[in-house]
Amino acid sequence: MLKKIDRIRLELANEVLNSSASREDYRVRYLGSKGLLKELYQEFKSVASEEKREIGLALNQLKQAIEERLETAGTNDEAPKQQKEINDVTRPASTETVGTLHPLHLITQEIISIFERIGFTQSEGPEIEDDWHNFSALNFPADHPARDMQDTFFLDTPFNQFSLRTHTSSVQVRVMESSTMPVRTISAGRVYRNEAISARAHCFFHQIEGLYIDEEVTMADLKQTLDYFAKALFGPEVHIRLRPSYFPFTEPSAEVDVSCSLCQGSGCNVCKYTGWLEILGCGMVDPNVLSSCGIDAKKYTGFAFGMGVERIAQLKYRVNDLRLYSENDLRFLQQFHL
């Protein structure tokens, strides 16, 4: 029986399967209900027990070879037809949709590149933070009312020790703890606050914060840095102003406005007829924060600033609904290009 199997295997190489008719004849002759393979399996039943293992293996290999020969012949026969379809120059052209970068990514990269020109480096940190880096090191004592300014997502752990970070200032704490002076860094990332989702607020958004610490750093250095940033992002005709404000980790603190580029400061509905648009918060790093991070507050001073990326994108692209950034609407996203 082994000789018979070997003879059939040799015959397979001489089979010409160049049409559907020849392939069907091949299938019936070898694989049909009355085909050669069926006959071999019937004959296999009467094989002696000591020979069954060897002959059974050869029979299975023959079946596999027969099926592969049929399958390969069908593929080779269809290949010229497929090539002809591909080369058909009369077919209508299909339009390919080209993807674009997300507007928040575009704004983030533009802001980072502006600060990199004046010596700032990038730093990153985790989105799940402990209480020390997210609050305590930034001058938020446990009973400080300033903690109520940020409605936090606490994780289900004992004593609420971990939470989703409410600002990227936590990255600055890690940089101050691990770096030698001077420090000049910018950190960008997603932050989370437990707020109702609306056109003007979301439970997650993106921030970019900067930090500069060195000897004899003053408020004048801060204002000059932010003036350079505003002109680089919004245009050389833009002016800035600083208004007194409050943040637990800076003293003194200020809100920064830029002159409205639409009305050139004369007043319009975008700037609510004030001529100014708020873009970020800033201030001199509180000495308590420096001391908490192991920095000599008598020797070093520094400034910090932070901005919401969505806010900057709203002003630059005139987007009036924060929800558009996270709804994946292609009609909205396809408007933005490099």
Which structural domains are found in the chain, ordered by start? 2-85 (no CATH), 103-333 (3.30.930.10)
Is residue 83 scored above 60 in pLDDT? Answer: no
pLDDT for 91 equals: 76
Q: Angle 316-317-323 (CA atoms, 0-180°, nearest 5)?
A: 115
| Percent of the chain at pLDDT exceeding 70 | 92
Residue with tokens 């799940």: 128
Dist CA 154 CA 59 (whole Å): 67
Highest mean pLDDT, choosing among 14-28, 40-54, 60-74, 323-337: 323-337
Task: Give the pLDDT confidence score for residue 70 in this predicted structure.
Answer: 77
Mean pLDDT calculated for residue range 267-285: 86
Q: Which of 230, 236, 324 is nearest to 277 (CA)?
A: 230
Residue 150 is predicted with a pLDDT of 62
Identify which has the larger pLDDT, 210 or 68.
210
Query: Average of pLDDT values for 290-309?
Result: 94
> 3-class DSSP state for residue 128?
strand
Q: CA-CA distances (angstroms) from residue 154 to 129, 146, 157, 337?
A: 10, 16, 8, 37
The pTM assigned to this predicted structure is 0.66
Question: What is the tens place of the pLDDT at every residue in 99-158?
Answer: 788 889 999 999 999 999 999 999 999 999 988 888 888 988 777 665 666 688 888 776
pLDDT for 131? 85
Give the mean pLDDT of 178-184: 93
Query: Which residue has better confidence, 67 or 221?
Result: 221
The string of pLDDT tens digits covering residues 154-170 is 887 766 578 889 899 99
What's the chain's Rg over C-alpha atoms? 36
DSSP assignment, residue 90? T
pLDDT for the residue 74: 61
